[in-house]
Amino acid sequence: MSTADSTAASGPFAARGSAREVEEGTAFAPKFDDAGVLAAVATDADTGEVLMFAWMDATALARTIETGQAHFYSRSRGRLWKKGEESGNLLEVIEMRTDCDQDAVWLRVRVAGTGAACHTGRRSCFYRSLPLRTGASAILALQTVGGAPLFDPAAVYPAGAKPGDGSP
């Protein structure tokens, strides 16, 4: 993937204008970072639950807008990744928003299949909590809060593989 000039127009996206134009205007002019990606957060369209975080390059962003199905960019595999292409747990995008400076997007989605958005089989990738106010010297122990997996990843994905690599 080549690093995109974040000020030039790219595909269906407008060229970036002044800060005021980006923050208050109606032109979608996403700002990709030096690696050519921007952050994407997916939440359940009905409950607001945070489901996952991933990266999008210009192709993934354009494909998501064109199809209404979430696509991401796998940094470790260096390729486009349609969420749910292997598991059947596709993300139907109900609404997409961008933040004030257009360097992140928020996808409100409905999950198909088993309803799991995480490659571990869980509904959300955020299924563990961190204890707070434990003191600086304490070793942190994660607590599972997201429930049991909704499917068995070993039965869905080839040995050792993660869909699209499953990591940001």
Could you read off the pLDDT of 4-23 as tens digits, one per residue?
445 665 678 999 999 999 99
Cβ 71 vs Cβ 63: under 8 Å: yes
Share of the chain above pLDDT 90, in %: 74
Taking 3-state DSSP, the helix, strand and coil percentages for the chain, each rounded to the nearest 5, stand at: 15, 25, 60
Find the farthest-apart pair of alpha carbons in the chain and give their distance in angstroms, rounded.
50
Predicted confidence band of residue 164 (pLDDT cuts 50, 70, 90): low
Phi and psi dihedrals of 120, rounded to 5? -80, -5
Q: What is the CATH number of domain 19-152?
A: 3.10.20.810
Please give the structure tokens belonging to residue 66.
């064109």
Kindly list the domain boundaries of the chain, sorted by start residue: 19-152
The pTM is what? 0.86
pLDDT in tens, 79-112: 999 999 989 999 999 999 999 999 999 999 999 9
